[in-house]
Structure 1
Amino acid sequence: MHPSVILLPTLVAFVAAESILMTEVFVIPIRPETFDWSADGHSDQFSYQPSLLNAPDLPSWIHYTYSKKDHHGFLYGVAPKDQKYFQLEIVGLNKHTYETRYKVLDMNVLERENLTKYEVHLKIDNLNVEDMFDRNRTEKLLDIFRKKLWKGAADLYVTFLASAIELGARLPLKPSEGEGVVVRLGSTIPFSQELNELQEEVKPLWKMPSCPRDFKRTSVEILFREAEFRLDWCSFRLLEEDQQSLQHESARRGPSVVGLPSSGISEHTEWRWARSTKASIPTRSYFNEIAITIFVPVILLVVLGALLSTAFCLHHEKM
């Protein structure tokens, strides 16, 4: 009889470096080639687990998602202004051979000379967050503003990116439809007259929490429809630096609504619903409930017993 063979997973380490800019959305794809693997026609045989080096999870401003369409993982987020050099670790697993490989990413955070002072807040209904990882699609959106609506904003770039579901939106009725994505485009150039007029045009819609997906009542709708962007105009906002600080303070006090921006230009960490702490939960007294459920029935039972005893005693004397 041959002795049994036990296959143990092997650990192979890799080191790489990435450079990101402050206040700008970065996207880092994680593919089989990242670990020198070949898919061999099985694109779903790999899984990835990223985290901060020597920590159980990622920082709050870095997010990870796996695209079933591309069969790749993606790290994305926005580095805050005070962020310095840090390291990430990614563990890759080959689910067919159980081989494990390990990669360390040296993240260099580069300062941006001119930080954005003006932002356009958008909610796109027909896309998922991983769709915005496509550079061509992002450039199409930026070109609409650079060439049509915000012509002076040559330094325009994406300053915020998040799934609408993460920010409290509902899932679409049809699974084939996009879940929705919230995007912000920032620049140092003041808003153009076209953008100010557009905001005045959509202001009456702000009383609605969300516009229908087939809503087509703006003068610039054709610009976005031709590029295959379906915007929720109830969420359209122009945000300036002084407004951002107020919105950031309101975001810290509680969860935000998808249609309303929740954080400032310089702070993009409040992406998810704020978790309540034990100390913030008010204490509740249950004395009234105990008195109603226990003491009142006991008192009624005693009174009823006394009445029945009295009735039996009187009836016995008569007999």
Structure 2
Amino acid sequence: MAGCRSWVLFLTVCAVSVFGANAEIKFTIPVGKLFTYELMRETFQNDFEPLSKLYPGRLYDDPMIFKCNRQNFPDLPEWLRFTQRHPYDNGFLYGTPVSPGKSIIEIYAVNKRSYETARQILVIKVTAEGILPYQAEFFIKLREVEKVLPSPVQDEIKQDLQKLWDTEALEIVNITNALDRGGRVPLPLAGHFEGVYVKVGSEQFFSDCLLRVLTAEHEKQCKAGAKVKIPGECNFCSIPSNCITWCKTELFDLSKQEPTPPAPTVGSGILEAGGDFIPLESPPSRDYLPDYIVTVIVPLILAIILCTLLAYIMCCRREGVAKRNARTNQIQLYHHHTILGNTDELRNMAGDRGTPPLPLSTLPMFNSRTGERASPLRSNSPSIPLIMAQHDPYVDTLPRK
């Protein structure tokens, strides 16, 4: 099987090399089997201007990125996935079809050096065949999906699993990246990998080594987080990077599952002759009064109560000026009135700054309390002061010590 598959891939690559990247490539695969197609940069390099004209000796060193989509659609079918890690790496189309049909995939290669493009058509025909009844899924921790998709690596993994299953009639059903299952992105350091889930199937029942996964002791060890002890005869890991994680191994017995019922047939949507159309009953009427009371009336009543309470506090709880003055000390009130009078006098004096200064003999005499002004020509007596003082009757009423 491995040799036949290698010959098929070899002939495919040769056909593309001869007819160019624009050739149409056809595949026929059964339902439930893994499909893998490698987009090789060397194949598309022939459609671009060779780099050797500018840099002799560098034939296949152009960075390329691939764009894949279903013909007349913006994306790929649901079962098909594409991955390419770096522009200097090859790309991979892989997946497992779940229903028969035909898909036409358009592949565009973009040369990042010259921004030229090349196109390739991939026709995938999926045929209906029986699904393998016994399947098992394994988790390989020290692998990434790009490193598992090449055919030689798949053959290495399959050889180890054939020894574990104790049969050579084994097929790889699906390969899934651990990130697609909710796994965490590893650190960009050496020794940290994303992990890959590999599902295989066979017509033969599970071996004794695989049935250990279903034992209560195995489940107890995995829940406790302890290292699972597997007998030496069940460890068939020839390459350390292909070793499986036993606690993430799952077995699927599809032979016991009931077949899925067929999909209902869609009619024409037209009633047969003589049939009567019976409309659906109208929904019962609904009373919206409780909702109106809860959403409108209750908030309105609460707002009125709060406004009334606020108005009472702001208006009805004020003491008044007379009551406040009766409770205040008389000397304190006198000082307060004096400060207010002096402030007004200073403001009036500040307003007269803009007028030109006059001789003191021509200035009118004024009273600082009453504001009365008297002409200086009213009397020639030198005993009349320029600023006349007047007794404040309010001060005369104050008790004297």
Partner of 1:127: 143
Measured after TM superposition, the shift of residue 305 of structure 1 is 2.7
Q: 1:204 to 1:224 in 2, by over 3 A?
A: farther
Q: Write out aligned runs for 1:151-166 (5 A).
A: 151=166, 153-166=167-180
Tell me how far apart the structure 2 counterparts of residues 237 and 297 of structure 1 sit (CA, whole Å).
Answer: 62
Partner of 2:120: 103
Measured after TM superposition, the shift of residue 106 of structure 1 is 1.6
Measured after TM superposition, the shift of residue 228 of structure 1 is 2.5
Tell me how far apart the structure 1 counterparts of residues 304 and 172 of structure 2 sit (CA, whole Å).
Answer: 69
Contact preservation (8 Å) 1:66, 1:72: yes
Partner of 1:18: 27
Tell me how far apart the structure 2 counterparts of residues 198 and 183 of structure 1 sit (CA, whole Å).
Answer: 16
Tell me how far apart the structure 1 counterparts of residues 308 and 258 of structure 2 sit (CA, whole Å).
Answer: 65
Q: 1:162 to 1:229 in 2, by over 3 A?
A: same
Partner of 1:188: 203
The 3-state SS of whatever aligns with 1:223 is coil
Measured after TM superposition, the shift of residue 105 of structure 1 is 1.1
Aligned amino acid, residue 224 of structure 1: C
Tell me how far apart the structure 2 counterparts of residues 78 and 66 of structure 1 sit (CA, whole Å).
Answer: 18
Tell me how far apart the structure 1 counterparts of residues 310 and 122 of structure 2 sit (CA, whole Å).
Answer: 78
Q: Write out aligned runs for 1:133-148 (5 A).
A: 133-147=149-163
Of 98, 111, 119, the match for 1:94: 111
Measured after TM superposition, the shift of residue 240 of structure 1 is 0.5
Tell me how far apart the structure 1 counterparts of residues 77 and 221 of structure 2 sit (CA, whole Å).
Answer: 36
Contact preservation (8 Å) 2:143, 2:241: no
Q: Does residue 238 in structure 1 map to residue 243 in structure 2?
A: no
Tell me how far apart the structure 2 counterparts of residues 226 and 296 of structure 1 sit (CA, whole Å).
Answer: 79
Which region of structure 1 is more displaced relative to structure 2, 294-303 or 164-173? 294-303
Q: 1:307 to 1:89 in 2, by over 3 A?
A: same
Tell me how far apart the structure 2 counterparts of residues 77 and 128 of structure 1 sit (CA, whole Å).
Answer: 15
TM-score (norm: length of structure 1): 0.68
Q: How large is the Cα RMSD of the aligned pairs?
A: 3.6
Identity of aligned residues (%): 23
Query: Higher relative contact order at CA 8 Å, sep ≥6: structure 1 or structure 2?
Result: 1
For 1:82-139, what per-residue CA distance to the aligned partner results, in whole angstroms no more than 9, with x for missing partners?
Answer: 3222211111111222211111112132444x42001111111111111111322222
Tell me how far apart the structure 1 counterparts of residues 300 and 230 of structure 2 sit (CA, whole Å).
Answer: 64
Measured after TM superposition, the shift of residue 234 of structure 1 is 2.2
Give 5+ residue unaligned stretches, structure 1: 1-11, 249-289
Tell me how far apart the structure 2 counterparts of residues 225 and 316 of structure 1 sit (CA, whole Å).
Answer: 100
Q: 1:96 to 1:218 in 2, by over 3 A?
A: same
Measured after TM superposition, the shift of residue 61 of structure 1 is 0.5
Q: 1:199 to 1:226 in 2, by over 3 A?
A: farther
Larger Rg: 2
Partner of 1:305: 310
Partner of 2:320: 316
Contact preservation (8 Å) 2:64, 2:88: no
Q: 1:173 to 1:234 in 2, by over 3 A?
A: farther
Contact preservation (8 Å) 1:47, 1:92: yes
Of 219, 225, 229, the match for 1:217: 229
Between Structure 1 and Structure 2, which shows a larger proportion of helix residues? 2
For 1:145-197, what per-residue CA distance to the aligned partner results, in whole angstroms no more than 9, with x for missing partners?
Answer: 322x222x332111111111111111224543110111111111111222213
Q: Does residue 74 in structure 1 map to residue 86 in structure 2?
A: no
Measured after TM superposition, the shift of residue 198 of structure 1 is 4.3
Contact preservation (8 Å) 1:84, 1:108: yes
Contact preservation (8 Å) 2:218, 2:228: no
Partner of 1:65: 83
Tell me how far apart the structure 2 counterparts of residues 97 and 297 of structure 1 sit (CA, whole Å).
Answer: 74
Tell me how far apart the structure 2 counterparts of residues 316 and 236 of structure 1 sit (CA, whole Å).
Answer: 87
Q: 1:305 to 1:168 in 2, by over 3 A?
A: same
Give 5+ residue unaligned stretches, structure 2: 1-20, 52-57, 261-294, 324-401
Partner of 2:15: none
Contact preservation (8 Å) 1:164, 1:181: yes
The total of aligned residue pairs comes to 256
Contact preservation (8 Å) 2:100, 2:127: no
The 3-state SS of whatever aligns with 2:181 is coil
Contact preservation (8 Å) 1:140, 1:227: no
Q: Does residue 117 in structure 1 map to residue 137 in structure 2?
A: no
